[in-house]
Structures are given as structure tokens and as C-alpha cells.
């Protein structure tokens, strides 16, 4: 019998991406599958802290293996803002367009456009905790371009490209994204 891992995310796209890597070796369950509908308060001030809060909450409640993630955008000239506040940078409820607007306004006239996306994965497997991090570096555009992807994709141009994440095909973004890199590290650590 395959071991089970509960993925602490309600984002279907993320679960699919994780499935493509782990599904042959583990039975992956969503929070819905185990009947967990509570809000988990992610009040840590680091990605590692928030990913661990999610993984530990599920692990404690169901005594199961669990994988959780936390991601965000860090902009050098803004002292690494929006960081852990990426989703709600312009306030509640989450509004990606207003978040972008806030970034573009704050970055007006600033020459240093360096930024990176970061993903932290927290895995609790057989009662042991593992952390994996992935990053992708790039620059913040002066204005939006493209309509694919989500979040800050229209203003993020990864190093080595002259298009934004929002102009890339999904597969192209998934090959170099922060999330893909964190997942690749997990795969290496677990299976290689
Ligand atoms: P989450 O922790 O993966 O839900 O990400 C938190 C927030 O970071 C999202 O709501 C987005 O604003 C931003 N973010 C994370 N990953 C990406 C990405 O791949 N593209 C654009 N924005 C992202």
C-alpha cells in the first residue's frame, strides 16, 4: 500500500503540479478529502514559519503525513516587500490587480528593479520535518504585460527572458518557477 500525504492547499493548480511529481509513490489527499475546512491562521513573518504552521496543523489533527507551501514575491528596492504579505499587499480581500498597482506605484522612479519569487515547502513525513526552498530571480517591469498565470506574473520578467511570466506558456513557466524548483529539490531528497 502506498503511504498517504495530505496536501495543505486548496489551490487545484498547485495540487496537480505536486501530483505530477509524487502521485506514483504516494496517495495524495486534499484537505477536502480528509474533511478539513477550518481557516489556518498564517501569522508567522517568514515563509518557512507559515508553511510549518499549515503542515503542523494538519499533521496534529489527523496524525498524517503532510505537505504545505508558502510563496511570495521579494523586491530588493522595497526591502523585500511584499514578501509574506504578497497575497494581501493591497489589503483584504485578495486582489491581484490592486497588488500590482501598489508595486508599480512604489517602484515609480526606482532604477533597481531586481526581484525574486520564493517558495518554501514544509513536508512532515513519518513524523519528521523537512524544508525545501525554490527561487527564481528576475526584474519588475515598468508596466504590465501578458494575461496568463496569476498574481504578480504580468510584471515579473525572469532573468534570461524578455517576456513576463504572464506571457509564458504554463509549461515554460513551470519549468523554471520557484514552485517547480522547490518541488525538484524535494524529489531529489526523497527519491534520488
Ligand atoms: P501562495 O503562498 O503560493 O498562495 O502565494 C502567495 C501570493 O504570492 C500569491 O497570492 C501571489 O500574489 C504571489 N505569488 C506566489 N507565486 C506566484 C507566481 O507564481 N506568480 C505570481 N504571483 C505569485
Pocket test for ligand 1, best of 71, 122, 178 (most atoms within 8 A of CB): 71
Candidates 45, 69, 70, 153; catalytic one: 70
Q: State whether residue 98 is helix, strand or coil.
A: helix
Instruction: Tell me which of 1 and 89 has the higher pLDDT.
Output: 89
76-134 pLDDT, tens digit per residue, is 999 999 999 999 999 999 999 999 999 999 999 999 999 999 999 999 999 999 999 99
Question: Is the pLDDT reported for residue 1 higher than 70?
Answer: no
pTM for the model: 0.93
Asked about 97 being catalytic, the answer comes back as no
Measure the CA–CA gap between 163 and 148, rounded to whole angstroms.
12
Query: Which fold would CATH assign to domain 4-190?
Result: Maf protein (3.90.950)
Each residue of 148-181: pLDDT tens digit?
A: 999 999 999 999 999 999 999 988 998 999 999 9
Ligand 1 pocket residue status of 82, Cβ below 6 Å: no
* Mutation pick for ligand 1 pocket among 151, 154, 165, 174 (CB with most ligand atoms within 8 Å): 151
Average pLDDT, the chain: 93
Amino acid at each position: 500500500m502506498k503511504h498517504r500525504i495530505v496536501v495543505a492547499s486548496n489551490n487545484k493548480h498547485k495540487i496537480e503540479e505536486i501530483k505530477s511529481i509524487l502521485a506514483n509513490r504516494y496517495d495524495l489527499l486534499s484537505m477536502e478529502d480528509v474533511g478539513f475546512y477550518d481557516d489556518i491562521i498564517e501569522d508567522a513573518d517568514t515563509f518557512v514559519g507559515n508553511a510549518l504552521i499549515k503542515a503542523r496543523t494538519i499533521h496534529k489533527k489527523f496524525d498524517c503525513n503532510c505537505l504545505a507551501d508558502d510563496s511570495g514575491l521579494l523586491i530588493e528596492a522595497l526591502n523585500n516587500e511584499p514578501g509574506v504579505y504578497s497575497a494581501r499587499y493591497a489589503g483584504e480581500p485578495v486582489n491581484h490587480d490592486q497588488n500590482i498597482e501598489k508595486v508599480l506605484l512604489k517602484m515609480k522612479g526606482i532604477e533597481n528593479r531586481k526581484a525574486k519569487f520564493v517558495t518554501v515547502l514544509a513536508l512532515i513525513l513519518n513524523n519528521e520535518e523537512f524544508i525545501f526552498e525554490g527561487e527564481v530571480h528576475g526584474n519588475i517591469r515598468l508596466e504590465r504585460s501578458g494575461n496568463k498565470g496569476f498574481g504578480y506574473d504580468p510584471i515579473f520578467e525572469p532573468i534570461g527572458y524578455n517576456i513576463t511570466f504572464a506571457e509564458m506558456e504554463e509549461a515554460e513557466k513551470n519549468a523554471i518557477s520557484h514552485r517547480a524548483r522547490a518541488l525538484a529539490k524535494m524529489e531529489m531528497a526523497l527519491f534520488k
